[in-house]
A and B are shown apart, each in its own frame.
Chain A
Amino acid sequence: MRLYAAAIYLFLYGPIALIVVFSFNAGRHAASFECCGTSWYGRTFNNQFLLEALYTSLLVAGTTAILATIMGTMAALALQRVRGPLRVVYDAMTYIAIIIPGIVIGIATLVALVTAFDAINPLLAALWPGGAKAAPQLGLGYASVIAAHTLFTMALVIVIVRARIQGMDRSLIEASADLYATPWRTFRQVTLPQIFPAVMAGFLLSFTFSFDDFIIAFFVAGSKTTLPIYIFSSIRRGITPETNVIATLVLGVSLTLLISAQLLMRRRAGAAGSN
């Protein structure tokens, strides 16, 4: 059993280790490995487009996660009070948003937006008070990626938070209402603390999904380059060790985050224990 577990971890981490090793390539091409140097790290840190892609991805994922978490939580709370056909429709929408493959969402959003922009832009140009030259032109970009990512992730948040609400102790809410707490106060002091772990999980999942999504962004990002799009195009351009450096850095950051989160939780648990 233990041997099996070890084998699985080897399978999971072997390729990742390979990439980390290859990131210390001193040669010019990724295809041949010359040990060892950090020259590609220097190049990577100076790569303006890579840094921008990273920034774009952080911005997109951050905004997506915030929007999805707030909107999804709001909907999950409201849905407790909705019954009947409206509820059925809503649940269907939620599941469809989750089930439909990203590639279909990407394509459908692209086609719909391009068609809509083609209709709206001439109108804007014709009606704009400052004249056609000054009229803004709608196009694909941050907004379209964030909007498309938010669709899937908010559905995810709805499902996660709703599951938590169902398992929640309702008597507390009733008690709070009986004590004449305002609904807002009840929400802040009773409901939110109870559903918080689910909200947090929804936020993290949304962020992770959006940060790592390639296919939706590939279709609707327009001229914006997210990190996965940058990596994909650098693979097409001919793989250089730079790609491996990026991967190693991403891995390093996520490991640091996870380990520090672990340590933090352990310390908190320890503090709670000593109280």
Chain B
Amino acid sequence: MSRNDDNAPISAKEFINELWRYKNGSVSRRHFLGVTGLGAATAVMATAMPGLVGSGRARAAGNIGDRVSIATWPNYYSQDNYDAFTKESGANIQISVFGSNEEMLAKLQAGGTGWDVFVPTNYTISTYVDLDLIQPLDLSRLPNFDEKHYIKRFIEPGTVNGKVYAVPKNWGTTGFVLNRNKITSNPTTWKEFWDLAKGEASSRVMVHDYQLTTIGNALKYFGYSFNSIDPKELGDAEKLLLEVKPHLFAINSDYQPGMRSGDAWMSIAWTGDGLQLNRDMPEIDYVLGQEGGELWSDFYAIPKEAPHLDAAYALINFLIDPKVNAAEVAVHGYPVPDNRTTALLPKEMTDNPIMYPAQELLNALEFGAAVTLTDPLRAEIMARFKAA
């Protein structure tokens, strides 16, 4: 293949095939980036345009130390991007993975996390500000961040009392994945999801180890708000959860291994995991419950006690660079509220209904509410459900 063809557009199927050949190691990174055209920018960065992204960043970063620690979620980053950051800046990235905002909050409350960057979800940020666990961002140190390119409703939760505490990472939905080879019926609602869990798919269903989504979608069974803190409504949800508990395969926010091995047939799931699973195993589908559920946006933020502040800013700035960000999306499949980045995505991704669901499905979704994070009853119901 001549280099001239490298940036020619390719079909979704070809793209995915190439991605897999690349992931399996049968083609080189360069070949993959070239053929797909996806990472054209990365290729350019490496060769033709010094000073724009690569070396420029390294220079601006100066000496940021040899490490930076990030707390994020499962299957939510591109190892190649992280490797590229390390190569340019000299800072290795220590990654910890969490399955719920509560877990991150608990760690920060206990202190001594050593995190430089973490990834909170929209509804948690005001609480972090109240508890004085997070620091306002110095936007002059994030030149790649430009508010005007972002979708307004996904950027707003990052600003509390007029100060920017967090910049958007990705947005997405919470629905469920199901394996069509194993499940014959065609659930389209949360009611059907929970009924299947007790019936046809008994002992093959997973739910998140995360109160917001697990309790929230159980509330949806009864048509209540995803964010309800009403004791009676939560009582109904708990009853449902306890009924389902013996039928579950597992309670875990990383459901990809279970779904891939065939142990689990269905799971509450986020956009990107749905896309990643569907990409590798077309029989796995991602469905949004018709009653609604969660729409969310995640952010990059810096904890109050971050030990490596320079490295934290350098990492965030690197990751929100549209080109880097696009390569990130290519791997994890979560949409980005940054129009510059979306413009770089291949059409196959922007047309993908998992990433960009139909408007009427999106309309039914709710943002998580801040009160759910600290509501003692929701916390206790989740804990009781797990210990049951």
Interface positions of A (Cβ within 8 A of B): 26-28, 31, 48-49, 110, 114, 117, 139-141, 222-225, 233, 236-239
Q: How far is the CA of A140 from the CA of B23 in the complex (A)?
A: 39
Q: Are B111 and A114 in contact (CB under 8 A)?
A: yes
Q: Give the residues in chain B near A26, CB-CB below 8 Å.
A: 25
Q: How far is the CB of B291 from chain A (nearest CB, A)?
A: 31
Chain A residue nearest to B113 in the complex (CB): A223
Q: Given A27-B25, A28-B24, A48-B66, is A238 in contact with B112 using a C-beta cutoff of 8 Å?
A: no
Instruction: Say yes or no: B261 contacts A233, CB within 8 Å.
Output: no
Report the contact-size class of chain B (Cβ under 8 Å from the partner): 20 to 34
Q: Mark B304-342, 1 if CB is under 8 A from A, else 0.
A: 000100000000000000000000000000000000000
Q: Please name 25 pairs of A and B residues whose Cβ atoms are closer than 8 Å in the assembled complex, sorted by A.
A: A27-B25, A28-B23, A28-B24, A28-B25, A31-B260, A48-B92, A49-B94, A114-B110, A117-B111, A139-B111, A140-B111, A141-B112, A222-B112, A222-B113, A223-B69, A223-B112, A223-B114, A223-B115, A233-B97, A236-B74, A236-B254, A237-B74, A237-B97, A238-B256, A238-B257
Inter-chain contact count A-B, CB under 8 Å? 52
Give the distance in Å from the alpha carbon of A236 to the alpha carbon of B252 in the complex.
10
Given the known interface contacts A48-B92, A236-B97, the answer about A139 and B112 at a Cβ–Cβ threshold of 8 Å is yes
Check B307–A238 contact: CB distance below 8 A.
no
- B350 part of interface (Cβ distance < 8 Å): no
Query: B53 in the interface, Cβ–Cβ < 8 Å?
Result: no
Q: Is the C-beta of B67 less than 8 angstroms from some C-beta in chain A?
A: yes
Which residues in A have their C-beta under 8 angstroms from that of B113? Answer: 222-223
Which chain A residue lies CB-closest to B96?
Answer: A233
Q: Which of B95, B112, B115 has the most CB of A within 10 A?
A: B112
| B75 interface hit (Cβ, 8 Å) | yes
B110-A110 in contact (CB<8A):
yes
Which residue on chain A has the smallest CB distance to residue B261? A31
CA of A203 to CA of B110, assembled, Å: 32
How far does the alpha carbon of A107 sit from the alpha carbon of B136 in the complex, in Å? 31
Chain B residue nearest to A139 (CB atoms) is B112
Given A48-B66, A48-B67, A114-B111, A238-B254 contact (CB < 8 Å): yes
- Please tell me if the beta carbons of B97 and A222 are within 8 angstroms of each other in the complex: no
Q: Which residue of B lies closest to A140 (CB)?
A: B112
Residues of A within 8 A of B94 (CB): 49, 225
Q: Is the CB of A49 within 8 A of B92?
A: yes
- Tell me the residues in window 62-77 of chain B with beta carbons closer than 8 Å to chain A beta carbons: 66-67, 69, 74-75
Question: Within B219-263, which residues are at the interface with A (CB < 8 Å)?
Answer: 254, 256-257, 260-261
Instruction: Point out which of B25, B66, B75, B111 has the most chain A C-beta atoms below 10 A from its C-beta.
Output: B111
User: Among A28, A117, A222, A237, which residue has its beta carbon within 8 angstroms of that of B114?
Assistant: A222
